[in-house]
């Protein structure tokens, strides 16, 4: 049996590792990682690897992202208390839960998942860390979720050829989108700031590997 106390200590170690690797910087985000133990989001048969800094299988060939990647993306998104955030690809719910902790009770996370089994699992997982401000929606993320729009920010956790048009429309002017985008050699993680309806500022965070947005 895996010792629960041991797992919580391992989460502290993982957080320290991400800080010393230079990816976790913001106190609010560090706190969110501490309050979101990854072992609650991984499959039972991978429990002993919950705190390895690697992606792990969820179901249906999908994955829970590597903690390093989750840290880079969360820092890039910089979710603040009270913000409303859209996520595409709920998966295990781990990334959504971390954002949920960052935006707090006055903020909200809407996360869309294409696979019903994963939507169910992620919905259960976020409840384990006592979050009421994270809502999992079963559907195609490419449509966004107009009912709750506009969003302050959006995070896409599966690689797309281009950021879906509807998602760009549903993000506020002054808002931000963090997404892995395919290019001819692989995938680049990009940060797009929506300056106006037609003007965008783009920053490239380098190469990462994601499952495809379908």
- Chain-centroid distance, C-alpha 80: 14
SS3 70: helix
What are 131's two structure tokens? 């979050």
Nearer to ligand SAH, 115 or 152 (CB): 115
Minimum Å distance from CB 201 to ligand SAH?
Answer: 25
Binding site for ligand SAH (CB under 6 A): 62-65, 88-89, 91-92, 94-95, 112-115, 118, 140-142, 157-158, 211, 213-214
Torsion region of 94: left, alpha or beta (phi above 0 gives left; psi -120 to 50 gives alpha)? alpha
**Taking Cα atoms as reference points, which of 49, 46, 47, 38 lies closest to residue 15?**
38
Shorter beta-carbon distance to ligand SAH: residue 62 or 187? 62
Instruction: Specify the residue, 63 or 123, whose C-beta has the smaller distance to ligand SAH.
Output: 63
* Minimum CB distance to ligand SAH smaller for 86 or for 195: 86
User: Could you tell me the smallest distance in angstroms from the CB atom of residue 128 to ligand SAH?
Assistant: 14
Query: C-beta of 87: minimal distance to ligand SAH in Å?
Result: 7
Nearer to ligand SAH, 49 or 201 (CB): 49
**How distant, in Å, are the alpha carbons of 34, 41, 48, 83 from that of 44?**
20, 9, 8, 32
Q: How far apart are CA 107 and CA 32, in angstroms?
A: 14
Q: Provide CB contacts within 8 A for 151, sequence distance 6+.
A: 84, 85, 86, 110, 170, 171, 172, 175
Closest distance between ligand SAH and the C-beta of residue 42, in Å?
Answer: 9
Q: What is the CA radius of gyration of the chain?
A: 16
Is 65 part of the annotated catalytic residue set?
yes
Catalytic hit among 20, 48, 65, 116:
65
Residue 202, SS3 per DSSP: strand
Shortest approach of ligand SAH to residue 95 CB, angstroms? Answer: 3
Tell me the helix, strand and coil percentages in the chain, rounded to 5: 35, 30, 35
Active site residues: 65
């Amino acid at each position: 049996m895996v010792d629960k106390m041991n797992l919580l200590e391992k989460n502290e170690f993982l957080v320290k590792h991400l800080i010393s690797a230079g990816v976790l910087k913001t106190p609010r985000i560090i706190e969110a990682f501490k309050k979101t133990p990854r072992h609650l989001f991984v499959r039972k048969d991978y429990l002993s690897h919950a705190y390895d800094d690697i992606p792990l299988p969820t179901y249906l060939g999908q994955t829970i992202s590597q903690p390093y990647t989750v840290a880079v993306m969360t820092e890039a998104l910089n979710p603040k208390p009270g913000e409303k955030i859209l996520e595409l690809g709920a998966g295990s719910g781990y990334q959504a839960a971390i954002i949920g902790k960052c935006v707090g009770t006055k903020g909200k996370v809407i996360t869309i998942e294409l696979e019903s089994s994963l939507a169910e699992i992620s919905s259960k997982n976020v409840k384990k860390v006592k979050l009421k401000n994270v809502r999992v929606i079963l559907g195609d993320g490419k449509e966004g979720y107009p009912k709750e729009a506009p969003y302050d920010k959006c995070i896409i956790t599966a690689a797309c050829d281009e950021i879906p048009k509807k998602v760009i429309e549903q993000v506020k002017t002054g808002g931000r989108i963090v997404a892995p985008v395919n290019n001819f050699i692989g995938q680049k993680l990009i940060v797009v700031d929506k300056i106006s309806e037609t003007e965008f500022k783009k920053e490239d965070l380098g190469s990462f590997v994601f499952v495809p947005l379908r």
